[in-house]
Structure 1
Amino acid sequence: MRPDLPYVLGGVTVGALLFGQAAIAPDAGPVRPLDVALILVTAVAVALCRRFPVPALLVTTAAMLVLHVRVHAGVSAAFPVLGTVYVASWRGYRVAAGLASLVFLAGFLAKDISTAPPGRPGQQIIERTSLLLGWFVAANVAGLVARQRRRYLEQVEQRAAEAERTREEMALRRAGEERLRIARDLHDSLTHSISVVKVQAGIAVHLARKQGEEPSAALLAIQEASSEAMRELRATLEVLRSPADADRVGLARVNELAERTRAAGVPVQVTVTGEPPALPDEVDQAGYRVVQEALTNVARHAGPATAEVRLEYSPALLTVSVTDDGGALPDGAVTPGVGLRGMRERVTGLGGTLHADRGDNGGFAVRATFPLDGAA
């Protein structure tokens, strides 16, 4: 309704103008019911000219010619025709707009000549006809200009959208090429090194058992950690090569992380509060990586310590915290390393917050919160 509102108001205005002109014009004849019907039909045609430009143009031209012949409404009879001529030309119906202009001008001129008073009517008729001719030429030209401008703006928007699409495609292609490059580098460097560690640990465990000895807990932890590292590296390479099809790690595997950390000699307790909702994949993976990095830091830096992993679920928030009671931190400010920076980037990239500092009772505490109602 909103696009038609200006045309409806225009129809009402035109109807009121024609009624007023027919009532007060000094040379106008009496207004009869047929004339009132012609004015109302013209008002309705103007109101509907956006939807039906050519029918509205034909109805308006015919009605105003008949009204001018019957009432001699004067120049005001040309106003609704001018409006519909402009709309028709703007919508691309140039031939119809031009023919309607010529028909109305010819009829208007014929009526003026037939009813001209004695004396010197020629100059007045010429002036009025010239004025109307200029108006109709201006209406046709203005419609053409408006149409060309609209087409130009559409082309500009189309080119802008195409350029944006092209930029996005180039960015995606470059991102894909970069992922493949990283995947090749990881495969050529880390895969070999981790494979060597895994093989050597397996050989050591096999030799120990062959000699009738039970392998040490540290050796078994190395074997398990290297095997898990190979699995995660393969999954990472799959993500880099085909991110849409690769399986993602998530908080459902936190107990596996805790078992591996216990095998490395660090007691870990896992506490879950709340009902786990269906988490977005990005949040689920980021929470897992926070726990993984925090437990790795506990095993590497905390010394003799115990760790606690807490997962707190609520409808709008996920909180992941890892605390330990180790005493390996020296006094002074905590300097974030690559692992902490990576954790912070993951969390803040999803609209969450990360707090990593000394705990209230010693040790170290990592606390990450993720919003679940508007996660990216």
Structure 2
Amino acid sequence: MRRDLPYAVSGLALGALLLGNAALTPDAATVGALDVVLVLAMAVAVAACRRHPVVALGVVTVAMLALHIRVHPGVSAAFPVLGAVYVAAWQGRRSAAAVASLVFLGGFLAHDISVAPPGRPGQLIVERTALLLGWFVAANVAGLVGGQRRAYLEQVEQRAVEAERTREEMALRRAGEERLRIARDLHDSLTHSISVIKVQAGIAVHLARKHGEEPSATLLAIQEASGAAMRELRTTLGVLRAPGDDDRLGLARVDELAERTRAAGVPVQVTVTGQRRDLPDEVDQAGYRVIQEALTNVARHAGPAAARIQVRYAPAGLTVAVTDDGRASPAEPVTPGVGLRGMRERVTALGGTLHAAAHDDHGFTVRATFPLDGPR
């Protein structure tokens, strides 16, 4: 309601201007009850032109033409129409604004010619028509420029929000990849070395006791320390692999992901087929991450496009896919980036397969399949 208040005030001010001008203009007719109703209808339409620009423009144009024919208040009858034309053009209703401008100018000119007094009225009519024509052209152009500027600012703001979201997701993904890399390095090197120390110390203790000898305190200390080191290392690896709630994201939250993508300006449809079932944590998280990365690529590279998320549960596997109708084409080969490589590594690490390719006509599909039964 607050956003409509300036329009309502403008409508009332224009109505007062019209009635005052009609009362003060010598050539104007007497204002009657019907004329007051026309002015009130104009004021109500101007108040509603932000939400209903086309309807309001039509009401204002008809009401002001009728007022001009009945009272003939002069060019002041064009002021409300000019305002409604500007608002309609500003909101992208260019055709309606142009048609209303032509209708009002044509009606205004026709009435002036029909009631022109004898003598030399031609010059006055031409001057008035030229004045109104310039005003209406300026209102249409100003509305068009204002609408384009508003659309540009909205696009810039949307891109800024999307860039910030993408930076945050990339930072989180890189942090997760770095944690996994550290965990793998520790597991592949340090865990192996400590395991060898623990096993060798255990064998030495066993052989000493088998021969009736008491193991030395140093050997027992090595065995105990290696066991404690293994336990602490496993705890550290667990923290690195599951550092927080973010890594517990799964397919149950795909709708939230789709909603965030819609808010970024990409229409998204979600389709789930098959019987939902409990999935292994790593498969659940990997499926979610594949969809997340694919939607990010749609928002960044597909241009104006809509996306469709498909999640299919099967007894022996899980399939997730993201399809868009963007500008990708087989004629332009896709260069795998960090996102696609990360998805492929994540999927193949779980024994699955990843398909990422452009359609024959246009668009792109990312499809990941994970096995749920049998060896990996």
TM range (shorter): 0.5 to 0.7
Structure 1 unaligned residues grouped into runs of 5+: 249-376
**Alignment root-mean-square deviation, CA:** 3.0
Letter in 1 for 2:237: L
Q: CA deviation at 1:195?
A: 2.4
Question: Is the aligned partner of 1:128 residue 2:128?
Answer: yes
| Count of residues in correspondence between the two structures | 247
TM-score (norm 2): 0.58
Partners of 2:247 and 2:201 in 1: CA distance: 27
Question: Is the aligned partner of 1:178 residue 2:178?
Answer: yes
Partners of 2:66 and 2:228 in 1: CA distance: 92
Give the 3 Å change call, closer, same or farther, for CA 118–176 of structure 1 in structure 2.
same
Alignment of 1:61-140 (within 5 A): 61-140=61-140
Give the 3 Å change call, closer, same or farther, for CA 115–225 of structure 1 in structure 2.
farther
Q: CA deviation at 1:137?
A: 0.7
User: Match of 2:49, SS?
Assistant: coil
8 Å CA contact 1:239–1:245 kept in 2: the answer is: no
Partners of 2:245 and 2:221 in 1: CA distance: 31
TM-score (norm 1): 0.58
Partners of 2:48 and 2:247 in 1: CA distance: 58
User: 1:56: which partner in 2?
Assistant: 56
User: 1:198: which partner in 2?
Assistant: 198
Partners of 2:64 and 2:142 in 1: CA distance: 22
Q: CA deviation at 1:40?
A: 0.7
Q: CA deviation at 1:53?
A: 0.6
Partners of 1:169 and 1:84 in 2: CA distance: 44
Give the 3 Å change call, closer, same or farther, for CA 32–246 of structure 1 in structure 2.
closer
Partners of 2:78 and 2:240 in 1: CA distance: 70
Give the 3 Å change call, closer, same or farther, for CA 118–19 of structure 1 in structure 2.
same
Structure 2 unaligned residues grouped into runs of 5+: 249-376
Q: CA deviation at 1:159?
A: 3.1
Partners of 2:16 and 2:246 in 1: CA distance: 70
Give the 3 Å change call, closer, same or farther, for CA 165–107 of structure 1 in structure 2.
same
8 Å CA contact 1:82–1:135 kept in 2: the answer is: yes
Bigger CA radius of gyration: 1
Partners of 1:224 and 1:55 in 2: CA distance: 85
User: 2:16: which partner in 1?
Assistant: 16
Q: Deviation above 6 Å: which 4+ runs of structure 1?
A: 207-210, 212-216, 218-222, 245-248
Q: CA deviation at 1:224?
A: 5.3
Letter in 2 for 1:177: E
Partners of 1:247 and 1:60 in 2: CA distance: 58
User: 2:317: which partner in 1?
Assistant: none
Partners of 1:147 and 1:230 in 2: CA distance: 66
Give the 3 Å change call, closer, same or farther, for CA 2–245 of structure 1 in structure 2.
closer
User: Which stretch shifts more, 136-145 or 175-184?
Assistant: 175-184
User: Match of 2:174, SS?
Assistant: helix
Q: CA deviation at 1:219?
A: 7.7
Alignment of 1:272-283 (within 5 A): none
Q: CA deviation at 1:37?
A: 0.7
8 Å CA contact 1:235–1:247 kept in 2: the answer is: no
Partners of 1:50 and 1:219 in 2: CA distance: 86
User: 1:156: which partner in 2?
Assistant: 156
